[in-house]
Chains A and B, each alone.
Chain A
């Protein structure tokens, strides 16, 4: 199947956007029309203790202990941390090291799922959101183990407690999903629009924000239409459709496109009165909080030309990739599997990598596609300026790349190295095949180490 076709949308130029960015082939057609389905439970789950930004969770259970689906199995360690809930009824076999998508093995609860269980969620109890105070709500969000499901996995309750003096006037709900192939958010907006609105209302209530904007790209018009049907009549929540462009889903780009605000370098969105949440996070919040339940599963797009049955699936947290891929059928090997999208996702080290809260998609490219996109031939930089014209942060990747190649890591500060959020636009466009963003990842590490070594 051809994957280079670009959809032509002449009306796009009238839509809001940010400057720069790129237009990789969207390839949403594999899964965008497939409603969300449920995958069966595997026999074993690997629930990583650290699947969020911040400190790893502390286990509350011991090997041999029985757990019920939805029951808390690990508690948050401090404020910037999140608890974990049992994704299935079964027994904790051991606490063991399992491979993660980033490479190093990390501690996880290995839960053996009881076969033939009904797997009903018996935990949690309905509660009245309207009657709860702001503090109670924030605590409830932390107790639900909710983290940013868009990929960063930053604990949501931390975002709900902005620093002193920051007043949030607008909540931005990020439904852009600019990564090619992925359709998790796109489907959630259609299939669970009511939960999305419910979640948005809760966020607005906690933050005291008078309005919220749900932003999505114009390749997801159906999603925008679905939401419009369930919008509250008071007009506090609106939907805005922006131009389809990568990386529109980055919060800085979204803030620029929707409300024309720039989040200052090194600061939180709250410093300009914004709070940004991903669609999947908001849907989960709207679904779980009124029921008092925790995050035990998530929607994952399994897609790409290498999968036999691509689709959007509800998968219990901790499901090993091997199980999913066996169920759906695929070609190639583990090295052709990418967690997340093709622009910012990583290949996995092993098929035993489990699904985590932050993982919104798995992309399987064919080995041939991988070869096509490999940086086989390198040319010198021809100063074409493509990277400068692509960088959404308006950096000068060409100059940064030259400094990185000469290992002048400290000099890269002058060219705003740490404003780079590694979207990969520069590497994508570079006609010379220079691995720019890859350079910058190393440079940031080296820069920090050098500064630490000689303060």
Chain B
């Protein structure tokens, strides 16, 4: 040790130990948990899905990095949170979406959903959902054009609309679909079928993902398993997922009991659409969910109810995105009214509390 260092006194205060679970470690593990879902998406929808995931993630990371360069601060890409946003954006977009639209969605997610609010830790809404909500409005038709899963030529051939020239409308998929799609293909997701024709979908298809839908939302069981990995490593709040799923199941079961011919059964409710992806990976975003233990339950129940209400009574077949965005919006309020009860708190009457005694 040098003489200068020896003469200076360095005092540290406790605690001298630190949990190894830092933000970047948690975020990196969420990325790991998303990778099997990405792999399944590629297997399900082919190279279009692969290109979608690569483009979205790339644009997301680039957007944050370029912003940091312009803002003259050290890049925050290293905390991995932007990678999660990029991957999630890809997973909730339709596989046939033109790549340039996906890039715009990803850019909006990070720029408007995250950086605009102040970056990691300050975003009110889940960034990926902000981007998707934007595109839902901006690119309505491509955002609701679905293609069948597990087409034979998917690993060698792009879905034609994927490679649309930037800033041009994609062409119609009708001709291509009639040549490749299986017989009886209606171009609808299970939820759309349910909404318009009250037709269910086979449970095994819902659970294992061989249905039309957004790129990474279809395999309910796989998503649950990936979420379980995070729960076991204590990097995800299982209470949120659990309360959303249970609420959605119970609430939809209520309607199913009243009129089984008009309303879907709870299993369909849980397996169809993006509920599983939303409940496991979107609603559990730490930043935009409440931090108190009771608040987390309230938040989950709120989202679960909203999902069912929008799906059954709203104008849209799918309600997970808006349900979670609404949940994000009320989460600061939920946190505020569900402050933990302090150990040994002395009951005060109102007057004393006001005076801050």
Contacts and interface: CB of A to CB of B under 8 A. Distances in A.
B344 A252 contact: yes
Contacts of A441: 13
Contacts of B183: none
A348 B13 CA distance: 10
26 contacts: A256-B343, A263-B344, A333-B6, A335-B11, A344-B15, A347-B16, A365-B16, A375-B18, A377-B24, A380-B122, A382-B286, A384-B291, A385-B290, A386-B21, A389-B293, A392-B343, A393-B344, A394-B340, A395-B340, A419-B343, A424-B15, A427-B15, A428-B18, A429-B19, A431-B19, A441-B13
A393 B11 CA distance: 27
Contacts of B19: 22, 24, 428-431
Interface string A264-277: 11110000000000
B266 to A, nearest CB: 29
B344 A342 contact: no
A161 interface: no
A321 B338 CA distance: 48
Contacts of A363: 16
A342 B17 contact: yes
A-B pairs, top 3 by smallest CB distance, nearest first, are A380-B121, A424-B15, A385-B291
A8 interface: no
A388 B15 contact: no
A151 B123 CA distance: 43
A342 B122 CA distance: 32
Nearest to B21: A431
Interface in B14-34: 14-26
Contact of A396 (B13, B24, B25, B339): B339
B121 A370 contact: no
A180 interface: yes
B10 to A, nearest CB: 5
Nearest to A435: B13
Nearest to B13: A438
Contacts of A347: 10-13, 16
Contacts of A180: 17
Contacts of A256: 343
A66 interface: no
Given A4-B20, A377-B22, A394-B342, A343 B15 contact: yes
Interface in B111-138: 119-122
Contacts of B296: 385
B5 to A, nearest CB: 8
A257 to B, nearest CB: 12
Contacts of A350: 9
Nearest to B26: A431
Given A346-B12, A396-B292, A265 B18 contact: no
Given A342-B15, A385-B286, A385-B296, A333 B342 contact: no
Q: How many residues of B sit at the interface, in one of the four size bands?
A: 35 or more
B331 to A, nearest CB: 9
B23 A432 contact: yes
Given A265-B343, A385-B237, 18 more contacts: A103-B9, A333-B6, A347-B16, A349-B11, A382-B23, A382-B286, A388-B292, A389-B293, A391-B340, A393-B342, A393-B343, A396-B291, A419-B344, A428-B15, A429-B21, A431-B26, A432-B121, A437-B14
A379 interface: yes
B239 to A, nearest CB: 10
Contacts, number: 162
Contacts of B22: 377, 379, 431-433
Contact of B11 (A346, A379, A415, A427): A346
A280 B76 CA distance: 49
A382 B127 CA distance: 14
Contacts of B10: 335, 347
B46 to A, nearest CB: 35
A68 B23 CA distance: 58
Contacts of B342: 265, 393-395, 416, 419
B344 A265 contact: yes
Contacts of B12: 335, 346-347
Interface string A353-381: 00000000001010000101101010111
Contacts of B315: none
Between A267, A373, A391, A433, the greatest number of chain B beta carbons within 10 A of the residue's beta carbon is seen for A373
A244 to B, nearest CB: 16
Interface in B276-299: 286-293, 296
Interface string A1-43: 0001000000000000000001011000000000000000000
A391 B339 CA distance: 13
B356 A414 contact: yes
Nearest to B340: A394
A180 B26 CA distance: 25
Contacts of B69: none
Given A385-B291, A389-B293, A395-B340, A379 B13 contact: no
Nearest to A27: B17
A398 interface: yes
Contacts of B9: 103, 335, 349-350
B1 interface: yes
Interface string B320-357: 00000000000000010001111111100000000010
A429 B291 CA distance: 14
A252 B14 contact: no
B18 A373 contact: yes
Contact of B23 (A103, A342, A422, A431): A431
Contacts of A24: 17, 19
Contact of B121 (A263, A382, A386): A382
Interface string A389-432: 10111111011000000000000011110010010100111111
A381 B286 CA distance: 10
B125 to A, nearest CB: 13
Contacts of B291: 383-385, 388, 396, 398
Given A383-B287, A385-B291, A344 B344 contact: no
A405 to B, nearest CB: 12
